[in-house]
Structures are given as structure tokens and as C-alpha cells.
Amino acid sequence: MDFIIQTIRAKEFYMSFVIFDATAISNDPYVTFLNEQFPKRSIQVWPDVDDPENVDYALVWKPPAELFEKLPNLKAVFNLGAGVDALLKSNVVPDHLPIIRLIDPILNQGMVEYVTWAVLRYHRQLHHYDNAQKRAEWLKLSPTDARTTRVGILGLGELGQACAQALCPFGFKVMGWSRSEKQVGGVDSFYGTDGLNVMLGQCDMVVCLLPLTDETQGILNTTLFSKLPKGAKLIHVARGGHMVMDDVTQALDEGRLEHATLDVFPEEPLRTDHDFWAHPQITITPHIASQTLPSAAIEIIADNARRLEKGDKPVGLVNRDKGY
């Protein structure tokens, strides 16, 4: 046993990491927390890499192709976020390398906070009170009943399930749609095309938490909106590519959608002259529904790196065929 532990420690001693987050203000926090986890190991920030042949693990968000061309002996790639659509689409990661996405309770918590805020805001009609305040109008609306308010979540994975479970205690009727059937306490599970149609017909609010894949690209379109009860609300926190923007505008104009809370857009940042910014029935946030927290992410990645060194399966291994 001592020998095994010593072998693992010895292997860890040689573990070497490269970090690159294209959107981070600074990669320093990742370096600091990784150093705490693996003191004295080689931790470098791309492109300043002294010994490219010896790098074992890359921690990346939107990396350049060159990174993979110049690091020939990588053992695995850690995605510094939950969604791997950009990484898979860029096709830069060699086929033989495992990609591990971020499954992190702190990321779940961030999404739970955002989705709960958006659902409660609609439930308590605060979007109407926000607009009334702008008109200096003392508007008093009839109260709504959580027990008759139905929330449907597209994507009942890590984030979708966490949000569904957080909404149940408020008394909402919570439903979720996924590829496979789920057993989540208090949540009605729907799957397949038929399941989607049945669920949509009952959604006063629909939350999108699907991964962006060939199958889900453009799913938030006129066809989907036409299946919702009139006046439904949309909370979109997945990826911009799910949403057909003109169809959102049309659904709002026709009253199919009453309001939309949008965190993600096909082109980010959203153009400053885009109509959505001033639309009275749209709330915009700049892709912040849940952001990777370096301290938390590094704990998860370090645990996974140790698993890989021991020959164990990491948590969050991406299925490239499925695209998530």
C-alpha cells in the first residue's frame, strides 16, 4: 500500500499543467489555486511554455489550435466551463485526447441562483413593476399562485436538475425534458419529441439549459414557441446558438411570449445597436448566469487529474459522439 501511495505521489511530482482561458481577465487565479493543489509542479500559462513535450494536462477555454499542435504529449484536456460546444466545434483537440468538462457544485449554485431569480421575478410579476416604475405608475396586479405556475426546463442534466430541485420547494409545478427519462424527486420527466410537445403545452415559463449540439441548434424557434401557452416566459441561459432571434421577436410581438430573460446570444457581446437592448419585454444579462470560479474549478480539476493518474475514470468525461 505504501508503495502504491509513494508511486502516486512520485507520479504527481512530475505532473505538468498548461492553462489558457481566452476570456479571463487574468489566468493568475488558476495558477495560484493549482499551485496550492500541486506545489512545486510545473504550472505554465500558454503561450509561455518552456518544456512543451512534458506537459500532461491542458486547462482551457476557447484555446487556439496551436496549443494542441505544440503540446504533443498531453494526457487530457480540462474544459474550464460546463459547455463544450465551442471546443468541439473548433475541432482543435486531437481525437485520442479525453475532454473533461466542468461539473462543479459552485457552478450549479450560480445557475440555481440565476434561474430562481428569473422564475420568481416572473412569478411575482416584477417585470411589470419594473416597467411601471419607469412610468411612475402605482400599478397593483392580482397575486399569482405558485401551485398553478408551471415551469418546464429543457435539459435535465447537471444544471437543469439542480435548478428543478431548487424550484420545487416554492410549490411550482416543475417539469424537465431530456434525451433519456429521469427520476428527479418532485419533477415530471419528459423525453423524446412527443414528450417535448406535451411538456411545452404546459409551460408558463420555459428555461433552456440544453447543451448546444447539431440536434439542439436553433431549437428556440417559432415552431417551439407556437406550442407554448399564450403569454409564456422564456429564460434562456444555455447558448446563443439555440435561439433564432427573429423568432423571439415575432413570438413577443404576437404575444406567444410575454417576456424573455436572455443571458446568451449567437454573437457575444450582443451588438450595441441590436433591437433587443431597448425591447421592453426583454431582460438582458451578459452571459453571467453562472461563471466559473477559479478556486472551485481547480479543486474539481485537481481531483480529476489525480483520478486520471490512478487510472480511474474522471467525472465529466465528454461523449464526443453526443456532443456534450
Which are the catalytic amino acids?
A: 239, 287
Positive or negative, the Cα torsion across 237, 92, 29, 304? Answer: positive
C-alpha cell at 36: 496550492
Per-residue exposure over 235-266, b if at least 16 CB sit within 10 Å of its own CB, e if not: bbbbbbbbbbbebbbebbeeebbbbbbbbbbe
Which residue has its beta carbon closest to ligand OXD? 81
- CA atoms of 289 and 268, how far apart (whole Å): 14
- CA atoms of 209 and 238, how far apart (whole Å): 5
Least Å distance between CB 76 and ligand OXD?
18
Least Å distance between CB 187 and ligand NDP?
12
β-pairing verdict for 42-45 and 282-284: unpaired
Q: Which of ligand NDP, ligand OXD, none does 263 bind, CB closer than 5 to 8 A by kind?
A: ligand NDP
Q: Is 228 in the site for ligand NDP (CB under 6 A)?
A: no
Q: Which x/- pattern, by CB under 6 A, does the window 245-264 give for ligand NDP?
A: ------------------xx
Q: Is 227 in the site for ligand NDP (CB under 6 A)?
A: no
Query: What does DSSP assign to residue 317?
Result: B
Cα angle, residue 295 at apex, residues 315 and 293 outer, rounded to 5°: 85
Single out the residue of 292, 313, 297, 291 nearest to residue 36, CA to CA.
Answer: 297
Q: Which of ligand NDP, ligand OXD, none does 16 bind, CB closer than 5 to 8 A by kind?
A: none
Of 18, 82, 87, 200, the one binding ligand NDP by CB under 6 A: 82
Query: Would you say 234 and 261 are in contact if contact means Cβ atoms under 8 Å apart?
Result: yes
Q: Is 77 in the site for ligand OXD (CB under 6 A)?
A: no
Query: What does DSSP assign to residue 27?
Result: S
Of 59, 87, 207, 210, the one binding ligand NDP by CB under 6 A: 210
Q: Which of ligand OXD, ligand NDP, none does 158 bind, CB closer than 5 to 8 A by kind?
A: ligand NDP
Cα angle, residue 24 at apex, residues 100 and 268 outer, rounded to 5°: 90
Of 81, 195, 241, 294, the one binding ligand OXD by CB under 6 A: 81
Q: Which of ligand OXD, ligand NDP, none does 27 bind, CB closer than 5 to 8 A by kind?
A: none
Q: Is 318 in the site for ligand OXD (CB under 6 A)?
A: no
Selected range binding ligand NDP among 134-142, 234-242, 247-255, 306-314, rule: CB under 6 A: 234-242
Least Å distance between CB 111 and ligand OXD?
9
Q: Is 294 in the site for ligand OXD (CB under 6 A)?
A: no
- Residues 120 to 179 in contact with ligand OXD, rule: CB under 6 A: none
- CA atoms of 27 and 32, how far apart (whole Å): 9
- CA atoms of 254 and 251, how far apart (whole Å): 5
Of 209, 224, 297, 300, the one binding ligand NDP by CB under 6 A: 209
Single out the residue of 101, 58, 157 nearest to residue 317, CA to CA.
Answer: 101
Of 52, 63, 152, 160, the one binding ligand NDP by CB under 6 A: 160
For binding to ligand OXD (CB under 6 A), which residues are involved? Answer: 81-83, 291-292
In the complex, the residues that contact ligand NDP under the rule CB under 6 A are 82-83, 107, 155-160, 177-180, 209-213, 215-216, 237-239, 263-264, 287, 289-290, 324
